[in-house]
């Protein structure tokens, strides 16, 4: 099997493991937006904003560090043991610290005490399984990885439907204990409880890796992994700022209702997010494992080109049928006030995906600190533009700030990569596909909105252009 075919195959499996949970979360959006008022959807958003922030802090770049050193080391068991023990120890210390300072933290996060307990239960459980999941990816076990991920999301989704819909619609079929303790005034709490249950079962499924680990902590390896990983942690915090600061600022500077509408419409960009995340899941271990091959840089260049083609097609489809997806996913028309952010957020996420692809240069050359600086630069743009423009043009400022931040990070990474790890990217073709997709999307959105036939024709034109330009290389890849 050719290298590219193997990459696309593994990415497809990892992609499904990522796509399915995201799609299931997407299925929940109509349920949540129909049942929860916008202000309660705002509470749901705040919960997961803090979850994202603390998740980055707790993993401190260890997942990427694990891939880097596991792929290079002869004693892979020692790398696994060191990473696993380190992350488990710091997670338990974190749990103890939260218990001691819980009152101060509750005030800082502005969370209900019950939600606060649920949040940190999810964080501890999810962090403890980071290294086992990374081990499955690094050792080429995508099916097992995907299976556990799918079980996790099915439990979460089923419990959401059970508590938010079934118990309310058919209380007579629910156990007496559930009926006696059910609160229709605290529906958002059941979303968080479902998350805790799903995380707990995932932890149990990966528990064998806890017993598999030898007590073999190597301080030298840990120091190297820490030095490699902490800039990734800082970059991750910057990424959380880019992704989530806008929502917190809209809540404080405009209203809970507008923040809820913004967050609900933001969910329509989930297909691009799924695509980017699926690529990242398959690409990260592949980039490290393939780095020593003679044709590595040419392979990376081809991967980016086809990533941009696929991402541009997804962007065009979603923009062309935006009103269809809006009606399908967001049932409450009160949320539609923020629908204008969707094309901007879609393109922002495509730029982010290109940035992830370009980031191969600083990960393979151990310049993760430079990657950290790029992310801080992007976060700085996000903070400045949000603070200055939200009071002037409202929530649309947040969407444009995200696009500008990710676009700037993408360009800076490209030019620095040319200096430190040159990859022969076909910039002309990549730029052409991006501009063609943007141009056709503007045509569809401005001139043929809600015209399904015109949307299909525009998408078909893009596909024909791409196929006519790429058919020879596609034929070679398929028949290798």
Q: How far apart are the first and last CA of the chain?
A: 7
Q: Strand locations in 319-358, DSSP E?
A: none
Nearest to 310 by CA among 318, 330, 170, 254: 318
Residue 377: predicted pLDDT: 93
Per-residue pLDDT, averaged over 359-371, amounts to 83
Between 230 and 9, residue with greater pLDDT: 230
Instruction: Write the DSSP symbol of residue 206.
Output: T
Report the pLDDT value the prediction gives residue 290, as an integer from 0 to 100.
66
Question: Where residue 42 falls among pLDDT bands split at 50, 70, 90?
Answer: confident
Check residue 342 and give its pLDDT: 92
Say if residues 260 and 45 touch (Cβ distance below 8 Å). Answer: yes
Greater model confidence, 467 or 1: 467
d(CA 417, CA 423): 8
Residue that wins the pLDDT comparison between 434 and 77:
434
What are the CB-based long-range contacts (under 8 Å, 24+) for 283-286? 283/7, 283/11, 283/356, 283/357, 284/64, 284/67, 284/137, 284/363, 285/67, 285/71, 285/137, 285/138, 286/7, 286/10, 286/11
Task: Round to whole Å and give the CA distance between 343 and 348.
Answer: 9
Place of tokens 């630069």: 377
The pLDDT of residue 2 is: 55
Give 6's pLDDT tier (boundaries 50, 70, 90): low
Band of pLDDT at residue 477, cut at 50, 70 and 90 = low
Among 245, 249, 270, residue whose Cα is nearest residue 258:
249
Per-residue confidence (pLDDT) for residue 24, from 0 to 100:
76
247-266 tens-digit pLDDT: 889 988 998 889 888 988 88
Instruction: Report the pLDDT averaged over residues 189-202.
Output: 94
Residue 289 pLDDT grade (very low, low, confident, very high; cuts 50, 70, 90): low
Residue 234 to residue 238: CA distance in whole angstroms: 6
The candidate with the shortest Cα–Cα distance to 429, out of 441, 421, 437, is 437
- Letter string b/e over residues 302-324, b meaning 16 or more CB atoms within 10 A of that residue's CB: bbbbbbbbbbbbbbbbbbbbbee
Return the exposure string of 330-364: e unless at least 16 CB atoms fall within 10 Å of the residue's CB, then b: bebeebeebbebbbbbbbbbbbbbbbbbbbbbbbb
Exposed e or buried b per residue across 376-402, where buried means at least 16 C-beta atoms within 10 angstroms of its C-beta:
bebbebbbebbeeebeeeebebbbbbb
Q: How far is the CA of 433 from the CAs of 230, 345, 438, 470, in angstroms?
A: 36, 18, 9, 11
Task: For 152-174, give one letter per residue: b (16+ CB within 10 A) or e.
Answer: bbebbbebbeebbeebeeeeeeb
What pLDDT sits at residue 1?
46
Q: Residue 416 is part of which domain span?
A: 3-478
Local structure of 208: helix, strand or coil:
helix
Percent residues over pLDDT 90 in the chain? 35
The answer, yes or no, to whether residue 330 has pLDDT greater than 90, is no
Distances (CA, A) of 337 to 30, 45, 120, 291, 331: 16, 18, 33, 47, 13
Tally of domains within the chain: 1
Is the pLDDT assigned to residue 424 strictly greater than 80? yes
| C-alpha pair distances (Å), 66 with each of 43, 44, 85, 328 | 34, 32, 12, 41
DSSP 258-295: HHHHHHHHHGGGHHHHHHHHHHHHHHHHHHHHHTTSTT
Range with lowest mean pLDDT among 217-231, 321-335, 393-407 = 321-335
**pTM: predicted TM-score of the whole model, two decimal places:** 0.75
Check whether 18 has a pLDDT greater than 70.
no
What angle is formed at CA 360 by the lines to CA 355 and CA 365, rounded to 5 degrees?
135
Q: For the chain, give me the number of helices (H) and strands (E)?
A: 23, 0
* Better pLDDT: 185 or 150: 150
Average pLDDT score, the chain: 86
**Residue 456 pLDDT > 90:** yes
């Amino acid at each position: 099997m050719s290298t590219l075919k193997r990459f696309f195959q593994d990415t497809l499996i990892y992609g499904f493991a990522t796509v399915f949970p995201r799609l299931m979360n997407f299925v929940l959006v109509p349920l949540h937006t129909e049942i929860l008022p916008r202000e309660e959807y705002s509470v749901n958003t705040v919960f997961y904003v803090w979850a994202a922030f603390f998740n980055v802090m707790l993993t401190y770049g260890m997942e990427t560090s694990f891939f880097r050193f596991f792929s290079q080391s002869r004693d892979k068991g020692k790398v696994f043991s060191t990473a696993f023990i380190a992350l488990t120890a710091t997670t338990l210390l974190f749990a103890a610290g939260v218990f001691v300072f819980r009152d101060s933290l509750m005030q800082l996060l502005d969370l209900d005490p019950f939600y606060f307990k649920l949040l940190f239960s999810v964080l501890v459980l999810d962090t403890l399984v980071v290294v086992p999941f990374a081990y499955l990816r690094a050792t080429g076990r995508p099916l097992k990885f995907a299976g556990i991920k799918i079980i996790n999301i099915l439990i979460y989704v089923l419990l959401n439907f059970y508590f938010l819909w079934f118990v309310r619609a058919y209380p007579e079929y629910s156990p007496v204990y559930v009926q006696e303790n059910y609160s229709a005034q605290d529906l958002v709490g059941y979303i968080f409880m479902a998350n805790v249950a799903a995380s707990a079962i995932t932890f149990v499924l990966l528990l064998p890796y806890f017993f598999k680990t030898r007590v073999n902590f190597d301080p030298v390896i840990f120091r190297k992994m820490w030095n490699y990983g902490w800039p990734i942690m800082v970059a991750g915090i910057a990424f959380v700022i880019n992704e989530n600061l806008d929502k917190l600022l809209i809540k404080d500077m405009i209203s809970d209702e507008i923040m809820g509408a913004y967050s609900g419409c933001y969910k329509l960009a989930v297909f691009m997010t799924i695509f980017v995340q699926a690529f990242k899941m398959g690409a990260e271990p592949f980039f490290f494992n393939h780095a020593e091959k003679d044709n590595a840089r040419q392979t990376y260049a081809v991967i980016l080109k086809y990533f941009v083609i696929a991402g541009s097609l997804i962007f065009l489809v979603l923009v062309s049928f935006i009103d269809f997806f809006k009606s399908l996913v967001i049932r409450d028309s009160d949320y539609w006030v923020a629908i204008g952010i969707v094309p901007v957020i879609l393109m922002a996420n495509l730029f982010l995906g290109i940035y992830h692809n370009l980031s191969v240069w600083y990960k393979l050359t151990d310049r993760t600190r430079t990657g950290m600086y790029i992310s801080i630069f992007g976060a700085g743009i996000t903070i400045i533009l949000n603070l200055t423009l939200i009071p002037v043009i409202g929530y649309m400022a947040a969407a444009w700030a995200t696009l500008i931040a990710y676009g700037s990070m993408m360009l800076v990474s490209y030019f620095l990569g040319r200096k430190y790890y040159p990859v022969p990217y076909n910039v002309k073709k990549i730029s052409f596909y991006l501009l063609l997709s943007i141009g056709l999307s503007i045509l569809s959105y401005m001139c043929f909105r809600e015209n399904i036939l015109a949307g299909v024709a525009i998408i078909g034109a893009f596909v024909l252009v791409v196929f006519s330009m790429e058919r020879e290389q596609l034929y070679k890849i398929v028949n290798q």
